[in-house]
Amino acid sequence: MTLKEGGFAVKLKSWMAIGILVVLGGFFMYGQFFEKADTIPDNEAQLDENQAPTTENFYEESGLKIGEMAPDFTLNDMQGNPVSLSDFRGKKVILNFWGSFCGPCREEMPAMQKFYETYKEKDVEVVAVNLTYFERKREEVDQFVEEFGLTFPIPLDEKGKQKEVYKIIPIPTSYFLDEKGIVQQVHFGPMTYEFMEETIKNM
């Protein structure tokens, strides 16, 4: 064998060795990837289960707790007239926060309107604050109100301030206030007529 042929043989062996290492490394990485991939769904499912929002989480992070006085506010209603929460002192109040873009809000509105029509003459008031600052268009609020024939007071949170004051997280969020404006019950999500009636009667 000549010197030139010997050098070629050495290079060939080197390239073969590198090739084998690359192939073995590829198999190793392939195995590691699918080993991890097999565990990802379980890990994600466990994470979602542990971190899923609950009523308790919402309550802990919300702005008001049972036994606290609801902060007063003055906002313009749909007709541009000022409405203050303190205007309703002496009545039990369902203070609701909602948006026209919210599916669960749409779900509860017929029940809220029915409840209002039944109890408005019984010293019970529904005050539904629209989170106007987060609406795409004010016209969508008007259309929503017209669609459901809503007649209870609807103050407009046009600057988003009350959402921050009350620390509203999910919507709808509803506070049940007694005649003095003190929170007696907090509810997250859509309400039924029966739930509103039972809660008001037990206050």
Cβ distance 128 to 174 under 8 Å? no
Q: Which of 27-31, 109-113, 177-181, 185-189 has the lowest mean pLDDT?
A: 27-31
Strand partners, 83: 75
Q: For the chain, state the CA radius of gyration.
A: 31
Cβ distance 178 to 151 under 8 Å? no
In the structure encoding, which two tokens stand for residue 139, read together? 């016209």
Listed in order, strand segments (DSSP E) in 131-164 are none
Cβ distance 177 to 91 under 8 Å? no
* % of the chain with per-residue pLDDT over 90: 68
Q: How far apart are CA 19 and CA 24, in angstroms?
A: 9
pLDDT tens per residue, range 70-106: 999 999 999 999 999 999 999 999 999 999 999 999 9
